[in-house]
Amino acid sequence: MKDLANKKGISHSKLKNNPRYLALQAIIQIFDGAAYSNLLLGQIIQQATLNDKDRRLFTEIVYGTVSRKLTLSYLIKDRIENQSKLDDWVRYLLMLSVYQLKYLDRLPAHAVLNDAVEIAKNHGNQGIGKLVNGVLRTLLREGFPDIEKIAKPIERLSIQYSLPKALIKTLIAQYGEERATEIFASLLEKSKSSIRVNTAKTSVEEVIEDLNDVGIEVKKSLISPVGLVSDKGFLAGNNYFKFGYFTIQDESSQLVAPILAANPDDVILDACAAPGGKTTHIATYLNEGRITALDLYDHKLKLIVENAKRLGVMDKIETRQLDAAQVHQHFPPNYFDKILVDAPCSGLGLMRRKPDIRYNKRIDDFASLQQLQLSILNSCSQVLKKSGIMVYSTCTIVEMENQAVIEKFLATHQDFEMVELTHHSKIISNGQLVLTPELYQTDGFFICKLRRKA
C-alpha cells in the first residue's frame, strides 16, 4: 500500500486550525479533564478559524468519538503493543481516526491518515507518527474486529453501543432487553435541532414561514404543539431567535408547561429553574399571575433573566437565589397555586446530545440523587395550597429517579395524590409520562402530576 502520509507535512500554524487537531484537543479535555462536550465545542469554535465544512467535521468527530468511546477503544486495542506505555492522547488520536475511517464513509482514507500522522508528529515525535500510521494502515488492510463475536451478552452490548456495563444491566432490568436495545441504538443516532415557538410574540405557522424564507426547513413536532424540529441549521444564529420569536428547547421539556396548566392569575414556583426554558414557557400562560424562579447559583439566575428578556416575559418572572430543598423555610404554607420541581438528576435522558454523561455516572449516584429529589419535593409540598398542583419532572430514564421517587413521596405524604396524565398513549405509563429516546428521537424525560388534597 502506498504511504498515505504527506511528506511535506503541515505547518504548526495551520495545524492549530485543523478540525482533526482541534477535535483531539477537545477529546483530551473531555476524557481527561471532565469538560462538558456541549460547552467546550462552542468555546473552541469561537476561538478557531474554521469554515462551515471544517466546523461540521470538527463537531462530528468530537461527538462521534465521545459517543463511541468504548467501541473505538475495543477496535484498536489488539493493534497496539504495550498499551500501558502509550500516552492517552495517542490512543485518543487513534480512536478519532478510526471513527472517521469506520463511520464516516464520505471521507477519503488518505486525508484521515495524513492528518493523523502529522498531528502525531507535531504533538509528539516521528516515532509516534510511524506508530499511528502503522496501526491505521493495518486496520484498513485487515479490517476491524467483529464485535458480534464477543461471547458475553452484556459485554457485547456494552462495546456495541458504548455504554458502561452497569448501565446496560440497569436499563435491561427496567425496560426488558428488546426495548432497552432500541434505546441503546437510538443514542447513536444524530440529534435533531428543536425549538419552542414563543406564542407570547408569534405563532407556529409564522415561525415556520419565517425560517423557510431564510433557508431553514422545519416541521412540526409530533408531541409538542409549540415545537418545531429541523435536521440541520444553526437555529440560534438568526434574528428570529435574537428577537425572541422562539427559543432552543427539546420537545420533551416543552411538555412540562402544558401539563402544569397554569391559569392566567396563578402564583407559581419553579423550584429548580435555570436556564429558564420551562420558566419562560410557563410565563406565556400568565396574565396577572407571577412565577418565582429559583436556583442555587447567581450566574444561572442571570441566564433565566437573559432568556426572559429576549422572549418578552420578564414582567411575569421574579428570580431568587435559594436552595430548593429549603423552600419551606422562606415561603409561608399554602402560598403557591402551582409548583414545578424539575429536579436535579443524572441527566441520562440527554445521552444523545451530551454523550459524555454516560461515562460519568455511577449506579451509586441514583440513590443519592433520589434523596435530594425527595428532599426538594418534601420542602415544596409544604408551601403548596390545598387543591394545588405540583409537577415533578426529570431528564433521566432511570426508574430510581422517577417512578420510585413518586412512590416514596406519596407513601409519606397522604395529603397528596397523583393526577393521571393523558397524552400520546405511547408515552404514558401508569398515568405518568415516560418518554424514552427511541420513541420520537427526543431527550429521555419523565413527568408526574401531583395534587394536594383539599
Residues 437 and 259: their CA atoms lie apart, in Å, by 20
| Residues found in the chain | 454
User: φ, ψ for residue 28 (rounded to 5)?
Assistant: -60, -45
| Residue entry with cell 400562560 | 285
Residues 132 and 139: their CA atoms lie apart, in Å, by 11
Closest CA to 67 of 95, 35, 39: 95
Three cell numbers, residue 27: 477529546
Would you call 380 a catalytic residue per the annotation? Answer: no
Residues 30 and 26: their CA atoms lie apart, in Å, by 6
Number of Cβ atoms within 10 Å of the Cβ of 284: 19
| Residue entry with cell 498515505 | 4
Residues 381 and 328: their CA atoms lie apart, in Å, by 8
97: CB partners within 8 A, 6+ apart: 20, 112, 113, 116, 132, 136
131: CB partners within 8 A, 6+ apart: 90, 120
Annotated catalytic residue within 345, 380, 395, 448: 395
Residues 393 and 284: their CA atoms lie apart, in Å, by 19
Beta strand 384-394 pairing with 445-452 = antiparallel
239: CB partners within 8 A, 6+ apart: none
126: CB partners within 8 A, 6+ apart: none
Beta strand 432-435 pairing with 428-429 = antiparallel
- Beta-bridge mates of residue 450: 390, 418
Residues 210 and 213: their CA atoms lie apart, in Å, by 5
Q: What is the DSSP string of 363-422?
A: HHHHHHHHHHHHHHHHHHHTTEEEEEEEEEEES---GGGTHHHHHHHHHH-TTEEEEPP-
Closest CA to 79 of 131, 149, 117: 131
Residues noted as catalytic: 395
